[in-house]
Amino acid sequence: MIVSADSDWNSFGRANASQKWCKQSAAMGGDMTRALVDAVQVGPGMRVLDIACGSGAPAISLATLMAGSGEVIGVDISEAPLQIAAERAAQRGLINAKFQQADAHDLPFPDSYFDCITSRLGVMFFSDLPGALAEMRRVLKPAGRATLLVWGPIDQPYFETTVGTVLRMLSGAGIPDSGRKMFALGHEGVLAKALRESGFIHAEERIVTVPWTWPGTPEEVWEYFQEVTVPFAPLLRFIPAERRQEIDKEVLGAIGKYSDGATIKFTATVNITVAVK
């Protein structure tokens, strides 16, 4: 049986969890963010839009590279992480970064406004992918670039040790539709094709593997996963109470195989696609 339910990205619990784990999450995703930022090739004075920016990555990194010049606008459908992003930018004195609530399917910006667009682990969740990609193209300047990072295949350590362990131990359980959606654009060619069909004249993909290192314990990783990874919430709710302790033990053992005593050394395989208007 495949468990399914709607993902609640605006939940109070998830917002609090995101703030609770902000530092560890930023550290774990640092190499992924750097890979995306390197692909953007941002320059002084550019106007950049970061879609589904969450608590500020990669918008803050891009604004820092631009050293006070240009403009970086981060947008997200959820208000709570935007407050965290704004605080992080203020702490760094970034006068060229701002954050606002907006829907990727209806961007509140004029045509041909941005030099480039970025999105890190957000595109997979757009309810109308062609519509959102068309909106990106609309607000890009001629020859502007969209640089999008999405998850690769599900078969990688972070998900194998968590989701994979639960699935192996629960007969009849399956990946929720919301979980499958996380990896729908990870296979080579899928996102590039969608971009071309939305009017982009060129789209090039790279599948890359980067460090995905958690600064802490297996217990923290498992707690973080359960609190923040909304698409797999239906699967986690499927775990019977009488088997919870047994499954927790197995998951922690699987995660522990990647521990060096101070950190959890996972890797993450992602698809970085660059498209030109």
Q: What is the pLDDT of residues 146-193, one digit of tens each?
A: 999 999 999 999 999 999 999 999 998 999 999 999 999 998 899 999
Give pLDDT tens digits for 253-264. Answer: 999 999 999 999
Phi, psi torsion values for 95, nearest 5 degrees: -80, -10
Overall size of the chain counted in residues:
277
The boundaries of the domain holding residue 148 are 12-276
> Could you tell me the CATH number of the domain that includes residue 218?
3.40.50.150
Q: Which two tokens stand for residue 250?
A: 């197995």
DSSP secondary structure, 89-156, as one string: HHHTT-TTEEEEE-BTTB--S-TT-EEEEEEES-GGG-SSHHHHHHHHHHHEEEEEEEEEEEE--S-S
Establish if 227 belongs to a structural domain.
Answer: yes
Establish if 86 belongs to a structural domain.
Answer: yes
Please give the tally of structural domains in the chain: 1
Q: Beta-carbon neighbour count of residue 212 at 10 Å?
A: 21
Distances (CA, A) of 79 to 71, 101, 200, 266: 20, 6, 30, 30
Mean pLDDT value of segment 116-144:
96
Establish if 3 belongs to a structural domain.
Answer: no
Establish if 204 belongs to a structural domain.
Answer: yes
Establish if 35 belongs to a structural domain.
Answer: yes
Give pLDDT tens digits for 182-234. Answer: 999 998 899 999 999 999 999 999 999 999 999 999 999 999 999 888 899 99
Res. 117: pLDDT tops 90: yes
Mean pLDDT value of segment 78-100:
94
Establish if 207 belongs to a structural domain.
Answer: yes
